[in-house]
């Protein structure tokens, strides 16, 4: 698995879907999620030199996201990737085991920083089932585990629609946040779609 291609693919998918992410954020936030993440990921891709080991790729991308992405999601995605990279250390390959370690560390970083639990209508609602599904299928290899994670992320994101937001800007809307897909959960689906696209 090529970590750099993963980040590049995530960036491509976010660029392609930036308008939709922003529209979702306009409904229950301030309408900047797509542009925020697109800007941060473009910066991350630019910061990635060829031939970095996977842990360094993820840490470098994470640092760019923290500094270049506005909003709540920048520090959350950025810290997630930094911790993911740190967790795999100097590993020369991103195999099924290292990726599992990275994903688990990413989830824990998001929860620690954002203090959201499943059901709060945030990216945690897509990330938690995706990481669990990845772990359950990781014995089958990266491509199969990535597909299982994508499937779980999609279901988790969809399940945010009927929820009332309890974290982030959308929580200011109270019951009016019900009936909308959470934008961060939608972008988390793209993170796993990117993984499934490049997994080999």
From the list ligand ADP, Mg ion, none, partner contacted by residue 116 (C-beta under 5 to 8 A by kind)? ligand ADP
Residue 32 interacting with Mg ion (CB under 5 A): yes
Q: Of the listed pieces 37-45, 64-72, 75-83, 173-181, which binds Mg ion according to CB under 5 A?
A: 64-72
Binding to Mg ion by CB under 5 A, coded x per residue (else -) over 166-195, reads ------------------------------
What SS3 string covers the chain? CCHHHHHHHHHHHHHHHHHHHHHHHHHHCCCCHHHHHHHHHHHHHHHCCCCCCHHHHHHHHHHHHHHHCCCCHHHHHHHHHHHHHHHHCCCCCCCHHHHHHHHHHHHHHHHHHHCCCCCCCCCHHHHHHHHHHHHHHHHHCHHHHHHHHHHHHHHHHHCCCCCCCCCCHHHHHHHHHCCCCCHHHHHHHHHHHHHHHHCC
Residue 124 interacting with ligand ADP (CB under 6 A): yes
Residue 25 interacting with Mg ion (CB under 5 A): yes
Least distance between ligand ADP and beta carbon 155 (Å): 16
Least distance between ligand ADP and beta carbon 8 (Å): 20
From the list ligand ADP, Mg ion, none, partner contacted by residue 18 (C-beta under 5 to 8 A by kind)? none
Query: How many residues are recorded in the chain?
Result: 200
Interacting residue with ligand ADP among 64, 122, 128, 138 (CB under 6 A): 122
From the list ligand ADP, Mg ion, none, partner contacted by residue 185 (C-beta under 5 to 8 A by kind)? ligand ADP
CB 189 within 8 A of CB 154: yes
Q: Of the listed pieces 45-53, 57-65, 79-87, 109-117, which binds ligand ADP according to CB under 6 A?
A: 109-117
134: closest CA among 151, 113, 115? Answer: 151
Site residues (vs ligand ADP, CB under 6 A) = 25, 29-30, 32-33, 36, 71-73, 76, 110, 114-116, 122-124, 167-169, 182-185
Site residues (vs Mg ion, CB under 5 A) = 25, 29-30, 32-33, 71
């Amino acid at each position: 698995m090529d970590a750099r291609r993963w980040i590049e693919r995530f960036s491509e998918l976010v660029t392609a879907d930036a308008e939709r992410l922003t529209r979702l954020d306009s409904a229950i936030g301030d309408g900047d999620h797509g542009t925020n993440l697109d800007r941060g990921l473009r910066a991350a891709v630019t910061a990635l030199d060829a031939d970095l080991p996977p842990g360094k790729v993820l840490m470098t991308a994470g640092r760019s996201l923290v500094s270049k992405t506005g909003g709540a999601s920048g520090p959350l995605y950025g810290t997630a990737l930094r911790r993911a990279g740190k967790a795999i250390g100097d590993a020369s390959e991103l195999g099924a085991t290292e990726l599992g370690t990275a994903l688990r560390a990413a989830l824990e970083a998001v929860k620690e920083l954002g203090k959201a639990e499943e059901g709060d209508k945030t990216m945690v609602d897509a990330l938690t089932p995706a990481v669990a599904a990845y772990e359950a299928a990781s014995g089958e290899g990266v491509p199969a585990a990535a597909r299982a994670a994508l499937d779980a992320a999609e279901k988790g994101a969809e399940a945010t629609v009927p929820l009332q937001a309890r974290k982030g800007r959308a929580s200011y809307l109270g019951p009016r946040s019900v009936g909308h897909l959470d934008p961060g959960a939608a972008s988390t689906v793209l993170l796993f779609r990117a993984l499934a696209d490049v997994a080999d």
